[in-house]
Copies of this chain bind each other. A is one copy, B any other.
Amino acid sequence: MNIVEFVKLSLGEWRSQRSAHHLAFQHFEAVTSEIEIIGLDEEDSQVIELCKVNNIDPKLATSPFKMTWEGESDWDDDETMSGSTILVPIPDGDDLTKGKLLREQGYAETIPSIGEYEIVEDGTFILSTKYDRAAAEEKIWFATPNLRFRVSLIKTSNGAGVTTASFSSEIRSLKSSEG
């Protein structure tokens, strides 16, 4: 599995169930959401801009995509969480199994981020991102082409402690194949 194949498998609409464990307080949070992932042209102006902001040659952008989500948490029934972000993989030279991932807007902070990704032997995509006051680690893998899982850890900035662990089950929506 390489990043081109991984992004291709990820395109479409997904129905997500996410559970977050806030470890210090043994608190559970449940979130349901709809996620849409669409491929972008490598010459898309948003892709080029995100590369430039990060001082990276836009020619290196490979399989960029846009992710949009809309969800509801059981913490606050009245609030709908929604957003979108552009993600741009920048492979390490000719090696399509690892590199940098530019993100227009991170999960943990509302600023652009650069993560390091690697796709390991069993096909799991692993992303590590350092923020100012935290670090994040995300693992995503496919059980079937229509079912993927995601484990996300939010760590203290030195990486030693995990404050939140969350798990998502993402099922491809039928809508995708109808669209």
Contacts and interface: CB of A to CB of B under 8 A. Distances in A.
Contacts of A151: 149, 151, 167
Contacts of A147: 23, 162
A121 interface: yes
A160 B143 CA distance: 9
A179 to B, nearest CB: 21
Interface of A: 15, 17, 19, 21, 23, 26, 28, 30, 32, 120-122, 143-144, 147, 149, 151, 153, 160-162, 165, 167, 169, 171
Contacts of A122: 120
Contacts of A17: 21, 23, 26, 28
Q: How many copies does the complex hold?
A: 2
Contacts of A161: 144
A143 B149 contact: no
A28 B37 CA distance: 24
8 contacts: A15-B26, A17-B21, A19-B21, A120-B121, A147-B162, A149-B151, A151-B151, A151-B167
Contacts of A171: 23
A98 to B, nearest CB: 14
Nearest to A28: B30
Contacts of A19: 19, 21, 28, 30, 167
